[in-house]
Amino acid sequence: MAVLSMEVKERGPYAGGISFGATGPYEVLQGAVRFGFNPNHPANTPITDIGLAPRNGQGLVEAMADYRIFRPADPAKGRRRLLVDVVNRGNSVAFGSFNSSARASGRGAGDPGNGFLMRHGFTVLQCGWQFDVAPGQGLRLQAPDAQGSLTGKIVFTFQPNKLEVTQELFPGIHLRSLPNDVESREAVLTVREYEDDPAQVVPRDRWRFAKVADGRVTPDASFLYMESGFLPGKVYQVSYPTAGTHISGLGLITTRDVTAFLRYGTAAQGNPCAGELDYTHAFGVSQTGRFLRLYLYLGLNLDEEGRQVLDGVIAHVGGGRRAEFNKRFSQLTSAAKRTLSYLFPYTDTEQRDPLSGKRDSLLARQKAKGGVPRIFFTNTAAEYYGSLGSLIHTNIEGTQDVTPSDGVRIYQFSGAQHGTGSLPFTNSGAEGVKLQQFINVVDYRPLLRAALLHMDAWVSRGVLPPPSKHPRIADGTLVPPAKVAPVFNQIPGVHYPEHLHALTPREYQGGLDPARANYTDGGEPLPVGVAFSNLVPMVDEDGNELGGIRLPDVSTPVASNAGWNVRHRDIGGGNQMIGLTGSSIPFPATRAQRQAKGDPRRSIEERYASREDYLARVRRAAQELVAQRYMVEEDVERVVEQGAQRYDLLMGGARSAAPSAAAAGEGG
Q: Is the pLDDT of residue 88 over 80?
A: yes
DSSP string, 341-371: GGPSP-SSS-EE-TTT--EE-TTHHHHHHS-
pLDDT greater at residue 457 or residue 172: 457
| pTM recorded for the entire structure | 0.93
CA dihedral 155, 90, 300, 99 (to 10 degrees): -130
Q: Is the pLDDT of residue 656 over 80?
A: no
Q: Is the pLDDT of residue 110 over 60?
A: yes
| Residue 247 confidence (pLDDT) | 92
- If we measure between CA atoms, which residue out of 306, 309, 280, 285 comes closest to residue 296? 309
| Residue 513 confidence (pLDDT) | 44
| Residue 654 confidence (pLDDT) | 34
Residues 129, 247 contacting (CB under 8 angstroms): no
Q: What is the mean pLDDT of residues 302-307?
A: 98
pLDDT > 90 in the chain, percent = 75
Q: Which of 419-423, 434-438, 582-586 has the highest mean pLDDT?
A: 582-586
- If we measure between CA atoms, which residue out of 80, 47, 73 comes closest to residue 61? 47
| Alpha carbons 526 and 330: distance in angstroms, whole number | 17
Q: Specify the amino acid at residue 658.
A: A
- If we measure between CA atoms, which residue out of 106, 18, 105 comes closest to residue 70? 18
Q: Assign 600 to helix, strand or coil.
A: coil
Burial class of 328 by CB neighbour count within 10 A (0 to 12, 13 to 18, 19+): buried
pLDDT greater at residue 527 or residue 308: 308
| Alpha carbons 448 and 432: distance in angstroms, whole number | 30
CA triple 633-636-642, angle to 5 deg? 155
- The model's pLDDT over 547-564, given as tens digits with 9 standing for 90+, comes to 999 999 999 999 999 999
Lowest model confidence (mean pLDDT) among 80-89, 131-140, 335-344, 375-384: 335-344
Residues 410, 602 contacting (CB under 8 angstroms): no
| Alpha carbons 107 and 649: distance in angstroms, whole number | 37
Q: Is the pLDDT of residue 523 over 60?
A: no
| Residue 38 confidence (pLDDT) | 98
- The model's pLDDT over 21-37, given as tens digits with 9 standing for 90+, comes to 999 999 999 999 999 99
| Alpha carbons 663 and 655: distance in angstroms, whole number | 17
| Residue 653 confidence (pLDDT) | 55
Q: What is the mean pLDDT of residues 641-648?
A: 97
| Residue 530 confidence (pLDDT) | 58
| Alpha carbons 576 and 567: distance in angstroms, whole number | 5
- The model's pLDDT over 200-230, given as tens digits with 9 standing for 90+, comes to 999 999 999 999 999 899 999 999 999 999 9
Instruction: Work out the mean pLDDT of the chain and round it to a whole number.
Output: 90
| Residue 198 confidence (pLDDT) | 85
pLDDT band at 539 (very low <50, low <70, confident <90, very high): very high
| Residue 132 confidence (pLDDT) | 87
* Count of positions (residues) in the chain: 668
Cβ-based neighbour number of residue 178 at 10 Å:
18
Q: Is the pLDDT of residue 542 over 80?
A: yes
Q: Is the pLDDT of residue 502 over 90?
A: no
- If we measure between CA atoms, which residue out of 392, 554, 576 comes closest to residue 468? 392
- If we measure between CA atoms, which residue out of 329, 355, 342 comes closest to residue 523? 329
In the DSSP assignment, the letter for residue 121 is T
| Alpha carbons 462 and 406: distance in angstroms, whole number | 13
| Residue 569 confidence (pLDDT) | 86
**Bond into 345 cis (ω within 30):** yes
pLDDT band at 661 (very low <50, low <70, confident <90, very high): very low
Q: Is the pLDDT of residue 660 over 60?
A: no
| Alpha carbons 137 and 139: distance in angstroms, whole number | 7
Q: Is the pLDDT of residue 541 over 80?
A: yes
Cross-strand bridge partners of residue 315:
284, 377
Q: Is the pLDDT of residue 658 over 50?
A: no
Q: Where are the alpha helices (DSSP H) in 79-151?
A: 94-98, 116-119
- The model's pLDDT over 483-492, given as tens digits with 9 standing for 90+, comes to 999 999 999 9
Q: Is the pLDDT of residue 643 over 70?
A: yes
CA triple 41-89-234, angle to 5 deg? 115
- The model's pLDDT over 323-337, given as tens digits with 9 standing for 90+, comes to 888 988 887 776 555
DSSP string, 411-455: EEETT--SSPP-SSP--B-GGG-BBSSEEP----HHHHHHHHHHH
| Residue 504 confidence (pLDDT) | 61
CA dihedral 555, 382, 631, 23 (to 10 degrees): -150
| Residue 516 confidence (pLDDT) | 43
Cβ-based neighbour number of residue 59 at 10 Å:
10
| Alpha carbons 519 and 513: distance in angstroms, whole number | 7
Separation in Å, CA 256 to CA 10, 67, 87, 128, 317: 23, 13, 13, 12, 21
| Residue 538 confidence (pLDDT) | 99
| Alpha carbons 158 and 234: distance in angstroms, whole number | 8
Q: What is the mean pLDDT of residues 150-171?
A: 90
